[in-house]
Amino acid sequence: MLGFPQVKRYFLYSEPTDMRKSFSGLSGLVNNEMEGTLSSGDGFVFINKRRTMMKILVWDRTGFVIYYKRLSAGTFEVSEAGENKTIQLAGSSLLLMLEGVSLQSVRWRKRYRRA
């Protein structure tokens, strides 16, 4: 069974992306628009204009991997990025997006106590 590799961070490109782009096209967006480093171990998330498709570009030590999801109903929720084209996502937030949970209604509970 395949799964996500160990990814440090996820970065969402907030502009609509042409889903015909593959490895080279998405890599160009990471380098030129997102100012990211492709071999950093980070995941780069792209969503189409209708917000029904998502691609995640990841470097996994030996090459690039693209994870691709197309919804049969509904849309992905995307938060506003402001002036930046890149939004950093926690892995847990990405999983919630993939499952269709509204990130606006999620309330994170405190899990540790500061000394």
Residue 19 pLDDT more than 90? yes
pLDDT band at 16 (very low <50, low <70, confident <90, very high): very high
Whether 48 is in a domain gets the answer yes
Number of compact structural domains in the chain = 1
Whether 106 is in a domain gets the answer no
Half-sphere exposure of 14 (CA within 13 A, CB side): 12
Query: CA 16, 19, 13 angle in degrees (round to 5)?
Result: 35
Closest CA to 58 of 27, 93, 84, 104: 27
According to DSSP, the residues that pair with 70 across neighbouring strands are 53
Whether 58 is in a domain gets the answer yes
7, two tokens: 């990814």
Rounded Cα gap, residues 65 and 23, in angstroms: 8
Whether 114 is in a domain gets the answer no
Look up the domain containing 32 and give its range.
Answer: 10-99
| pTM, 2 dp | 0.84
Q: Mention every residue, 6+ apart, whose C-beta is less than 8 A from residue 62.
A: none
Mean pLDDT (whole number) for 50-76: 91
Whether 36 is in a domain gets the answer yes
Whether 64 is in a domain gets the answer yes
Q: Which residue has the tokens 């995307």?
A: 78
pLDDT band at 79 (very low <50, low <70, confident <90, very high): confident
What pLDDT, on a 0 to 100 scale, did the predictor assign at position 90? 85
Whether 50 is in a domain gets the answer yes
Least confident stretch, 17-21, 38-42, 103-107? 103-107
27-60 pLDDT, tens digit each: 999 999 998 888 888 999 999 999 999 999 998 8
Whether 83 is in a domain gets the answer yes
Residue 1 pLDDT more than 50? no
